[in-house]
């Protein structure tokens, strides 16, 4: 069994308040969960309305599958017009 994890740092140029940020992040995380069947959460910068760190995890029996899923999540984030991906890091952990 393998666990694939990804942390993405994103900027929210349209968020003027924490309420705006939470609305945008909740919508994105819900769509990612539904489309890619991964666990997803905001993991850092909760009190900064311009930045967010988003964490994603998937479980697989093949490294290539976990890599594909996480790469698809990052492409989805890149294509989203409400956020700008500043960087990301992925890791595959054997259990």
Domain of 38: which CATH number? 3.30.70.1120
Give the pLDDT confidence score for residue 17 in this predicted structure. 94
Question: Residues with Cβ < 8 Å from 6, sequence gap 6 or more?
Answer: 55, 56, 57, 70, 73, 74, 88, 89, 90, 91
pLDDT one-digit tens code per residue, 15-40 = 999 999 999 999 999 999 999 999 99
Residue 46 confidence (pLDDT) above 90: no
How many structural domains comprise the chain?
1
Domain enclosing residue 90, as ranges: 2-94
Contact 5, 23 (CB under 8 A): no
pLDDT at residue 81, as a whole number: 86
């Amino acid at each position: 069994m393998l666990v694939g994890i990804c942390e993405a740092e994103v900027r929210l140029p349209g968020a003027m308040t924490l309420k705006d940020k939470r609305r945008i992040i909740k919508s994105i995380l819900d769509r990612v969960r539904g489309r890619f069947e991964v666990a997803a959460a905001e993991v850092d910068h909760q009190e900064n309305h311009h930045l967010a760190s988003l964490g994603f995890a998937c479980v697989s029996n093949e490294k290539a599958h976990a890599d594909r899923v996480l790469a698809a999540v990052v492409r989805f984030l890149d294509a989203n017009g409400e956020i700008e991906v500043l960087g990301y890091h992925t890791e595959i952990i054997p259990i």
